[in-house]
Amino acid sequence: MASIPDQLKLQEAQGQKQGVAKRGNREDSTKYVFLLPAVVWIVIFTIFPLLYAIYTSFFSFRYGKINQFIGLGNFGRLFTDANLHGALWITITFVAVTVTVEMLLGFGLALIFNREIWGKNVWRAVMTLPLFATPVAMGYLGITLFYETNGPVNALIAALGGTPPPWLSNPTWAPIAVMLIDIWQWTPFVFLVALAGLQGLPEDIYEAAKVDGSSGFQLFRHITLPLMAPILWLILLLRLVEAFKVFDIPSSLTLGGPGRATEVYSLFTYRTALRFFDHGYAATQGFLLLIIVSIIISLLFGRIRSLYEVSR
């Protein structure tokens, strides 16, 4: 496989060539026949709802019906709502812990798996299994995995001589249980993408460095890490964006509890919307999350823009 920068150049060159070839029949309207259905679809199903959400956010609701125009009232509540701040803090903690662990574990495993081993394709297939295991089902299975008496996790802890913690009934341990399932599910994602990146690295650089007498750690520090940097930034970005949306696992594993200990942002907003029918405020909360995610993207996107252009 060609390295990422090589692919980039290649695709750029192809794009230019096509551009020149197509300029002759620019009036060709067939191209809109291909493009427009998807564009119209997305405008109808995302742009229109977004505008509708903006509209809703200016109103207070009562029993799911528009009550009155309150201008920026819902935005003001964002600053004073202690429960919202709690949910945001829980989510930030969740994101920080899970993404850090997933990055380290996934990249570490990719480095270990990245060599000729017996049955490599089978191992890789096994590692992809968690990615599409229905998250809400994993949360539900987690109730049995983290069962306090005789659950397999606590049985293992007891066997190793530890004190089994009260996973799901304790506000300190419940978030950790949620995090562990998320880590189980998404470490393979970091692993697979990092492994794909590692296998695309050019071999001759390593040969040359070894001739120069570089040690294994030097190879890693001065060749692998810099070459992998764009991919690692990309994985980080995708994981951060995805982790902030967390909803399924806490919904089924802990229902946000005990108390509010695992009530993540999306769960809080969902409840504002469809348990308390405070539609306007829920829409406003949705925008706050969008703003947070957008800030993260804009902070990281510059670093990986070159990589992204591959997908033009």
Partner 1 sequence: MAQRQTSLAGKLVYTIIVVIALFWVAFPFYWAFINSIKKPAETFRPTWIPILQFAPTLEHWTSELAIPETQHAILNSTMIAIGAATLSTILGTLAAYALARFQFNRPSNGGLTSWFLSQRIMPPVLFVIPFFLIMRQINLLDTVWGLILLNATFTLPLPVIILSQMFRELPSELEEAARVDGASRMQAFFQVALPLVAPGLVAAWILCLAFSWNEFLFALSLTNKSAIPMPVIIAGAEHTRGVQFHYVGVRVLLTMLPPTILALLAQRYIVRGLTLGAVKG
Residues 23-82 that bind partner 1 (CB under 8 A): 23, 26, 28, 30-35, 37-39, 41-42, 45-46, 48-50, 52-53, 56
Interface positions, 189-228, toward partner 1 (CB under 8 A): 189, 192-193, 196-201, 203, 206-207, 210, 216, 224
Q: Cα–Cα distance between 70 and 285 in angstroms, integer?
A: 15
Residues in Cβ contact with 201 at an 8 Å cutoff, skipping those fewer than 6 apart: 3, 223, 224, 227, 228
> Which part of the chain contacts partner 1 (CB under 8 A), choosing from 68-76, 94-102, 170-178, 183-191?
183-191
Binding mask 240-279 for partner 1 (x = CB under 8 A): -x--xx-xx--xx------------xx--xx--xx----x
Cross-strand bridge partners of residue 59: 69
Least distance (Å) between residue 308 CB and partner 1:
6
> What is the maximum alpha-carbon separation in the chain?
75
Binding residues for partner 1, how many (CB under 8 A)? 116
Interface positions, 227-246, toward partner 1 (CB under 8 A): 231, 234-235, 238, 241, 244-245
Nearest to 264 by CA among 137, 76, 83: 83
Interface positions, 109-168, toward partner 1 (CB under 8 A): 109, 112-117, 123-141, 143-145, 147, 150, 152, 155
Number of neighbouring beta carbons within 10 Å of residue 137: 12
| 8-state DSSP, 201 | S
Q: 3-state DSSP call for residue 115?
A: coil
Q: Say whether residue 101 binds partner 1 (CB under 8 A).
A: no
Q: Cα–Cα distance between 120 and 176 in angstroms, integer?
A: 32
Among 15, 76, 166, 171, interactor with partner 1 by CB under 8 A: 15
Angle at 215 between CA 210 and CA 219, to 5 degrees: 70
Q: Say whether residue 297 binds partner 1 (CB under 8 A).
A: yes
